[in-house]
Copies of this chain bind each other. A is one copy, B any other.
Amino acid sequence: MWMPSQLPDIATQLKAAGYKGDPRQLADLTRAPMNAVVKVGGATGAFVSKDGLVLTNHHVAFGVIQYNSKADRDLIHDGFVAADRAGELPANPDFRVLVTTGFDRITDRILNDARGKQGRAYFDAIDAATKAVVADCEREAGTRCSVANMDYGSDFYLIRQLELRDVRLVYAPPESIGNYGDEIDNFMWPRHTGDFTLLRAYVGKDGKPADFAPDNVPYAPPAHLQISTRNVQQGDFAMLAGYPGVTYRHRMASEFKNQIEWQLPSRVALFDGIIDTVEGAAKGDKAAQVAYASQVQSMKNNLKRAQGELDGLRRSDAVRIRNTEEAALLAWLDKQPDGAATRKDIDAAQALLSGAMTTRDRDQLVSSIRGSTQLLKAALTVQRRAIERTKPDAQRESGYQERDEALIVGSFKQVQRRYDPKVEKAILAHLLAQYRALPTAQHLPEIDAVFGTTEADATAKLDALYAGTKLGDETVRLATLQDANVAASTDPMLVAAKTLLPAYLRLEEESKQRDGDLLRLRPAYMRALNAYSKSQGRAVYPDANSTLRVSYGKITPMSPRDGIDYRPLTTVQGIVEKHTGQAPFDAPKPLLDAIAKGDFGTTADPVLKTQTVDLMTNLDTTGGNSGSPVLDADGKLIGLNFDSNWEAVSASWYYDPRFKRAIHVDMRYLRWLLAKVYPAPHLLQEMHLPAE
């Protein structure tokens, strides 16, 4: 996940891998080809014509497709081909395409006030400087600005983007192509999904960003990518540009150990315990089962994901490897003439992390007492809101400002469909039993005051709490939001929340102090890591942070386990094999007919003698890379990224080349669909592609 500006530094290895272009040309985000890569609806996309045509994923544009679907025009099910530009459909008004126009290092401007400060004050100074810079930058109309924090507070960049607000739907395959396999195939290979959609960005007649208007004109991007018409095959060079969200690969070794040996297993155990508790308490009560179905499903997904991440990190032996690496780094650092100051900061950061770990079980349980309940959480919100509302709106904690009121009301209404008193009592009893098993020194007086210190206490207190509260009544609950004197309420749940709240505020404050200090101290670790790696002749990319990154590699198979190889190209034969006629494996008839007919024209793979569908590469991606263009050695577009593989769910922490793969739509499949299945000859022409 290289910053484009790093690519000239690694030009030798990039050329050795097969790239035929000039790595220096990739370095500037505001020049071609990088400025053809855009942010679309929170993910990535790319311009693919001079008239503002944008290629992104079906799942990224799904909101746009849904927004334009009605009872008598189901674009989700049927797909959509705009017959001409007049037929292109406006996206939902909050949908955006962002074109990067500036990327400037402003580290000193951001850190100036913070230097010398500590803890939360350090954090707040950076926050204030950031807000000021953004406000200043956004004075220019049609511009969206943000500050990117690189290497955990080491460097800051001001990103200036053109905000295109009139985006229209041009071409979408039916959901049974764009999302073929859905959740069942999600994260899976072999894959057979045509997860792409074409949009078009429009601007006002003056060429400036504008809200939708019928007489807006297509945006003329500064650059666009050309879809390849060449064959691709295993071993071919591939390169991807996009906006990966977040990775943790440069966290300290102790954080890896914590993640693998405590965080993931304890999360699995926590969710397992709560799921068992809910299922036990709701047994035989259909209404309660329905009320908790969504929460249970979400915990199960979370649990599965955590287990997958844990399996992956263990398989990669990440704890041992990171320990060894960090030991070597620190040994090197200690030999450097100016290493001591850096080492002091690293040790201080380590001490902060170690400190937090001493109460990690307690903190997770206390957080879960709020997070996994409905009524108690609502009561805590009421009391916290009462405090925040004594401040001017701008100074209130995020989540309690005027703009958040509708959200609070919504969540209070939702309680009715997601709550059952006996289940919530069972969850709390389960969590409190674990809490009581913690060392007494970690106990919080507020929790003890509300729930007691023995099982008998907890049972009695919970019974009284849920028998006495009127908050289960939606009218009563919503009325608390209008009650200026709610802090004085005698409803037992509100009284309990008022007692508990100081504990939550205290833990929150401790966490913010720690985060501020880590923001101050972590740059020492990154400085040492970068210097050490440089001394070893290796470049290091910063952890992902939603800024534009480039990865290069190749089309490559994978062995997921002993005796099995995954081929890196799938074919339409797999669509037929998976087709059951039932969603999500309900390939549409025009597609099945076209496959049976076997008329693949110029898009057929000359070796496989059939139509390919998806590609697999070893490109480095993470959440946010959806819609990233995949380029060949000549910079031509060969694939559209849309997923990664299950074996790589741990890659946000640790990149294991044996198992990290990315999954793309083969552009030959897109071309074939546009040529033969749901024809759009005018779009092929616009993209300078053969008619068949």
Ranked 5 nearest A-B pairs via Cβ: A190-B563, A562-B574, A563-B570, A565-B565, A562-B573
A561 within 8 A of B: yes
Picked from B191, B569, B577, the residue with its CB within 8 Å of the CB of A561 is B577
Q: Does A571 contact B (CB under 8 A)?
A: yes
Q: Is the CB of B574 within 8 A of A190?
A: no
- Whether, in the assembled complex, A552 has its beta carbon less than 8 Å from a beta carbon of chain B, the answer is no
User: Which residues does chain B contribute within 8 Å of A190, judged by CB atoms?
Assistant: 561-564
Q: Verify B565–A564 contact, CB threshold 8 A.
A: yes
Given A562-B577, A565-B565, A565-B567, 18 additional A-B pairs, CB 8 A: A189-B563, A190-B561, A191-B563, A192-B562, A561-B574, A561-B577, A562-B570, A562-B573, A562-B574, A563-B567, A563-B569, A563-B570, A563-B571, A563-B574, A564-B565, A564-B566, A564-B567, A565-B566
Q: A566 to B561: give the CA distance in the assembly, Å.
A: 10
Interface-centre pick from A190, A562, A569, A573 (highest chain B CB count, 10 A): A562
Can you give 5 contacting A-B residue pairs, CB < 8 Å?
A190-B561, A190-B563, A561-B577, A562-B570, A563-B570
A573 to B564, CA, bound (A): 12
Q: Which of A141-199 contact B (CB under 8 A)?
A: 189-192
Copies in the complex: 2
CB nearest to A190 among chain B residues: B563
- In the bound complex, residues from chain B placing their C-beta under 8 Å from that of A565 are 564-567
User: For the complex, what is the distance from the CA of A192 to the CA of B574, rounded to whole Å?
Assistant: 27
Q: Which chain B residues lie closer than 8 Å to A563 at the CB level?
A: 189-191, 566-567, 569-571, 574
**Nearest B residue (CB) for A572:** B562
Q: Write the nearest CB–CB distance from A41 to chain B, whole angstroms.
A: 29
Interface residues in A, total, Cβ within 8 A: 17
Q: For residue A563, which residue of chain B has the nearest CB?
A: B190
Chain B residues contacting A574 (CB-CB under 8 Å) are: 561-563
Hey, which bits of chain A sit against chain B, CB under 8 A? 189-192, 561-567, 569-571, 573-574, 577
Name the distance in Å between A628's Cβ and chain B's nearest Cβ. 22
Instruction: Please give the distance in Å from A549's CB to the nearest CB on chain B.
Output: 28
Cβ-closest chain B residue relative to A567: B563
Report A435 CB to chain B, min CB distance, Å.
30
- A564 touching B562 by the CB < 8 A rule? no
Q: A564–B564 contact, CB under 8 A?
A: yes
Which residue from chain B places its CB closest to the CB of A557 in the assembled complex?
B565
Output the least CB separation between A208 and chain B (Å): 47
Residue from A562, A563, A577 having most chain B Cβ neighbours under 10 A: A563
Which residues of B sit under 8 angstroms from A189, Cβ to Cβ?
A: 563
CB distance from A537 to the nearest CB of B (A): 29
A234: shortest Cβ distance to chain B, in Å? 12
Interchain nearest-CB distance for A455 vs B (Å): 32
Shortest Cβ gap from A293 to chain B (Å): 22
A569 to B574, CA, bound (A): 25
A562:B571 contact, CB within 8 angstroms: yes
Cβ-closest chain B residue relative to A610 = B562
- Chain B nearest CB from A675 CB (Å) reads 22
Quick one: closest B residue to A574, CB to CB? Answer: B562
Most buried by B among A189, A191, A564, A570: A564
A653 to B484, CA, bound (A): 80
Contacts of A562 in B (CB 8 A): 190, 192, 570-571, 573-574, 577
A570 to B573 Cα, complex, angstroms: 27
CA distance A192 to B570 in the complex (A): 28
Note all chain B residues with C-beta closer than 8 A to A561: 190, 574, 577
Question: How far is A570 from B571 in the complex, measured between Cα atoms in Å?
Answer: 26
Report the minimum CB–CB distance from A611 to chain B (whole Å): 11
Q: Min CB distance, A398 to chain B, in Å? A: 44
CB distance from A617 to the nearest CB of B (A): 14
When distances are taken between beta carbons in the complex, the residues of chain B under 8 Å from A567 are: 563-565
**Shortest CB distance A627–B (Å):** 23
Report how far A566 CA is from B559 CA in the complex, Å: 10
Report how far A567 CA is from B562 CA in the complex, Å.
8
A564 to B190, CA, bound (A): 7
Question: When chains A and B are docked, how far (Å) is the Cα of A570 from the Cα of B565?
Answer: 12
List the B residue with the shortest CB-CB distance to A570.
Answer: B563
